[in-house]
Amino acid sequence: MDARGAQGGHGERIRRDAAAAAAAAAGTRLDPWFSSYAERAHGMRASEVRSLFAVANRPEVVSLAGGMPNIEGLPLDFLADMTSRLLRERGPKLLQYGGGQGEEELREQIVEVMRHDSVHAHPDDVVVTTGSQQALDLVTEVFIDPGDVIVAEAPSYVGALGVFRAYQADVVHTPMDDHGLIPEALDRTLGELAAAGRRVKFLYTVPNFHNPAGVTLSAERRPQVVEICRRHGVLILEDNPYGLLGFDSEPLPALASFDSQSVVYLGSFSKTFAPGYRVGWAAAPHAVREKLVLASEAAILSPTMMGQLSIATYLQTYDWFQQVKEYRQMYQERRDAMLGALSEHLPQAQWTVPDGGFYTWLTLPEGLNAQSMLPRAVTNLVAYVSGTAFYADGSGHRHIRLSYCYPPPERIREGVRRLADVVRAEQELVEMFGSGTAPASGHTVEAPSADQV
Amino acid sequence: MDARGAQGGHGERIRRDAAAAAAAAAGTRLDPWFSSYAERAHGMRASEVRSLFAVANRPEVVSLAGGMPNIEGLPLDFLADMTSRLLRERGPKLLQYGGGQGEEELREQIVEVMRHDSVHAHPDDVVVTTGSQQALDLVTEVFIDPGDVIVAEAPSYVGALGVFRAYQADVVHTPMDDHGLIPEALDRTLGELAAAGRRVKFLYTVPNFHNPAGVTLSAERRPQVVEICRRHGVLILEDNPYGLLGFDSEPLPALASFDSQSVVYLGSFSKTFAPGYRVGWAAAPHAVREKLVLASEAAILSPTMMGQLSIATYLQTYDWFQQVKEYRQMYQERRDAMLGALSEHLPQAQWTVPDGGFYTWLTLPEGLNAQSMLPRAVTNLVAYVSGTAFYADGSGHRHIRLSYCYPPPERIREGVRRLADVVRAEQELVEMFGSGTAPASGHTVEAPSADQV
């Protein structure tokens, strides 16, 4: 059987399974508790796209959808010995509850990590969380009443939009260009919202190697963004999971470095070390940090001691920054593979050129719809996330987020080739029958799954 | 220096530090974001009692306040070898993101654990959470709109009341006796609430070795409680962290064993194994389980793989039930030490006789106030949790929760002796000056800290 035949066979099976999965998701089940749910829960539902992703996770599909880091380079023998020693020597501490704010030993290390972003914090400013996702959840819980406005980049991280939606926030997008958030547009957005009497609680922003847009807020704009928010009395929620993963240069100063009292800074070990421990953090102004600790204690009592002390010890005893440098090089090679393949196979599209992180943001030729094209892409054994996932307002149909973090370079090139085939077929259809862009109605932001982060 | 002198010296220092801590907690800080908080966040604040507990955690104080398990008996060498092997052999899986519902490998083990409670679930019914505390949070998030009613035992677990409060639920207590929830009273409570047009979303109950009351719902009452709730169309949230820690007999059938479609069952490894991994679970009717997974993905993306696979492997390869039996014996000895000391030193009080778990519930002689007595107890180097922490309505002043889980028997006896001294001194004051019971106004439920679980 030749490769094409095998692919066709896979495609057929996948087509059938995808159809069955979509039918199951759409089918109604009898739910005796349906009328008991909170208002916020009625929007929580598994979508067709989600079912499709279950299919897309098969090994024969090249997934350019996932946000999972490639952790193959981690020093497993070192970690095995380190953890074994920790359990033998400090077992009763590792296996016990800890304090709600997180271990001081880890918070001291976190303060050192944040120095790379020019943030000078005190361990007392830090609260350790179950990944920075929980920090997102806690900040939203502490600040958002239903109907409050959060201003966020267009597009924004799907997992943040999911949290904002769970707290019934109203997300207003503000545009970016290749240098990140546009200060003049942000100022105008905040001014218009104030004039309309809307309550803006915070600006949510990913300044470095943006997820999904792949762009970085320029050095010049950083103090401007801080000044604009301060002038409008709006807190900044700075989400920085990828900051240390820049390819060509040292990190730019974080927004928090300009005014620590106006910024809640979120960090994570999921991309610079490993997500399996579920450890992230928030650094916040003192009174906000106190609220975050109380909210976290209500939600989980305390973060994992096993995870916290493992990470603290790794940071103390391993050359972790060398590991980060290896990650940088590995991801840079993958970015180069992706951009090279895009130039070769998809010259009719446009894309951003990321200087770090995991993602590039593709703009399809006019008339194409990334959302309706996705099932055909999966049938052709390549997966991506439709741009619509990254907008709260139903736009984004012409966009695609492509991840280069997980598959090796050769698979990335193969994935882009397959995607290009789908795009070409789609363009032919559009030329014959007109635009396939669906109207923006009925769009819902979904809860993220780990393969979309 | 004699023992009394040493104690007096400690007492003096502790008195000063407690006063300073209370002043710091009461002092107002300038908080520029005060007006930005969500309504739910305004009740989140560190209280004087909390500051007092920081002092009470000193080694010279006998804490009968904590809910921390005694994990000294855990097989650290086994765990060290097991974890080291896991990291070497399955490191890339342990250190990666997982699915939002939790690993099937662990969910299969959880199903086996629940068989001890006569619950026959399928791994697909289970969602793994960051301790069962997160499961409490998720269920409340999915069901509670502000102002909805949750019916809960009087008294109830302080950590549950904290979550319910964060979601602005209205908690209505229903009474217990030595055999747990009183079915007739529950029926009446639900009937009255329905007649008043109130929306009751669920009954929250801890049927086994109740925290804080120390009582167990009798076998006869279990199907009655399920029937009453079903008749009123009210879901049951069954919280069962201590179920396997019975001293004299095998576990009674869980409420979920009578009607799995009307019960969300919460379980935890924190008391039967170790809390440091932060792994618990919910088993729920299918549609509810789907909502819980979506809510959990929004909150934390996925539970810790490190923790999940460690626990799954421990359950698969170690005689974990023998470990539970050793826990039972150890806790039974501590209960016996506590009840013996109470009989000897505090005959003027009443207390429940727990058949398992961590707690006994003390009723003070009339006229005494557990809340206002606490600073004097801490000064006398013994700590407890005032009964007021376990009521949403400000009652409970005559009650005390005493934990026998953490200190060894000799310390428990010493702690009860110190408590008896405080109670006697308090009784003398009451005889001279009248009742010290404060009115119930101004009471707020606090967020729990790990030493109060």
User: B185-196, pLDDT tens digit by residue?
Assistant: 999 999 999 999
The stretch A362-386 carries a mean pLDDT of 95
Are the beta carbons of A346 and A363 closer than 8 angstroms?
Answer: no
> Is residue A123 pLDDT above 60, yes or no?
yes
User: A15-73, pLDDT tens digit by residue?
Assistant: 665 555 554 554 445 898 999 999 999 877 665 556 666 777 788 999 999 889 999 99
Query: What Rg do the C-alpha atoms of chain A give, in angstroms?
Result: 22
Distance CA B45, CA B445 (A): 10
Nearest CA to B232 out of B172, B286, B160, B292 is that of B172
Distance CA B304, CA B302 (A): 7
Residue B354: CB atoms within 10 A of its CB come to 28
The stretch B155-160 carries a mean pLDDT of 96
Distance CA A54, CA A20 (A): 12
Report pTM.
0.91
Distance CA B64, CA B351 (A): 14
- Find chain A residues with C-beta within 8 A of B295's C-beta: 41, 44, 166, 447
> Is residue B419 pLDDT above 90, yes or no?
yes
User: A194-227, pLDDT tens digit by residue?
Assistant: 999 999 999 999 999 999 999 999 999 999 999 9
What pLDDT does residue B57 have?
75
Q: In chain B, what percentage of residues exceed pLDDT 70?
A: 87
Are the beta carbons of B436 and B367 closer than 8 angstroms?
Answer: yes
Domain regions of chain B by residue span:
48-67+322-432, 76-318
Is it true that domain B76-318 has CATH number 3.40.640.10?
yes
Residues A411/A417/A419/A420 CA torsion (nearest 10 deg):
160
Distance CA B26, CA B308 (A): 41
What pLDDT does residue B13 have?
63
Stronger pLDDT, A416 or B444, i.e. the higher one: A416
Closest CB from B202, B299, B306 relative to A277: B306
Q: In chain A, what percentage of residues exceed pLDDT 90?
A: 82
What pLDDT does residue A17 have?
59
Residue A161 to chain B, least CA–CA distance (Å): 9
User: B267-308, pLDDT tens digit by residue?
Assistant: 999 999 999 999 999 999 999 999 999 999 999 999 999 999
- Find chain A residues with C-beta within 8 A of B161's C-beta: none
3-class DSSP assignment, residue A228: helix
User: B36-88, pLDDT tens digit by residue?
Assistant: 999 999 877 665 566 666 777 788 999 999 889 999 999 999 999 999 999 99
Closest CB from A83, A130, A145 relative to B84: A83
Nearest CA to A61 out of A100, A17, A23 is that of A17
A366 — pLDDT class (breaks 50, 70, 90)? very high
Is it true that domain B48-67+322-432 has CATH number 3.90.1150.10?
yes
3-class DSSP assignment, residue B96: coil
Which residue in chain A has the smallest CA separation from B68? A97
Nearest CA to B228 out of B266, B190, B197, B255 is that of B190
Structure-token pair, residue A226: 């801080």
What pLDDT does residue A8 have?
45
Are the beta carbons of A408 and A414 closer than 8 angstroms?
Answer: no
Q: B31, B124, B300, B327: best mutation site toward chain A, by most A Cβ within 10 Å?
A: B300
Q: Which residue has the tokens 């979509």?
A: A22
- Find chain A residues with C-beta within 8 A of B27's C-beta: none
H or E segment to which residue A404 belongs: none
Which residue in chain A has the smallest CA separation from B67? A97
Residue B147: CB atoms within 10 A of its CB come to 10
Is A450 within 8 Å of B97 when comparing Cβ atoms? yes
The stretch A140-144 carries a mean pLDDT of 97
Q: What one-character DSSP code corresponds to residue A118?
A: T
Burial class (CB in 10 A: 0-12, 13-18, 19+), B406: buried
Q: Which residues contact B443 (CB under 8 A, 6 or more apart)?
A: B388, B391, B393, B394
B21 — pLDDT class (breaks 50, 70, 90)? low
User: A295-332, pLDDT tens digit by residue?
Assistant: 999 999 999 999 999 999 999 999 999 999 999 999 99
User: B253-267, pLDDT tens digit by residue?
Assistant: 999 999 999 999 999
> Is residue B363 pLDDT above 70, yes or no?
yes
Which residue in chain A has the smallest CA separation from B131? A300
Q: In chain B, what percentage of residues exceed pLDDT 90?
A: 82
Give the count of alpha carbons within 13 A of A37, CB side only. 21
Q: What one-character DSSP code corresponds to residue B441?
A: T
Distance CA A85, CA B202 (A): 45
Distance CA A443, CA A397 (A): 11
What pLDDT does residue A335 have?
98
Distance CA B104, CA B122 (A): 10
Q: B97, B143, B165, B269: best mutation site toward chain A, by most A Cβ within 10 Å?
A: B97
Burial class (CB in 10 A: 0-12, 13-18, 19+), A302: buried
Is A450 within 8 Å of B302 when comparing Cβ atoms? yes
Residue B5 to chain A, least CA–CA distance (Å): 32
What pLDDT does residue A448 have?
52
Nearest CA to B292 out of B330, B331, B334, B235 is that of B235
Closest CB from B33, B97, B291 relative to A41: B291
Distance CA A33, CA B288 (A): 8
Q: What's chain A's length in residues?
A: 453
What pLDDT does residue A2 have?
39
What pLDDT does residue B85 have?
98
Q: What one-character DSSP code corresponds to residue B273?
A: T
Closest CB from B31, B291, B299 relative to A137: B299
User: B207-229, pLDDT tens digit by residue?
Assistant: 999 999 999 999 999 999 999 99
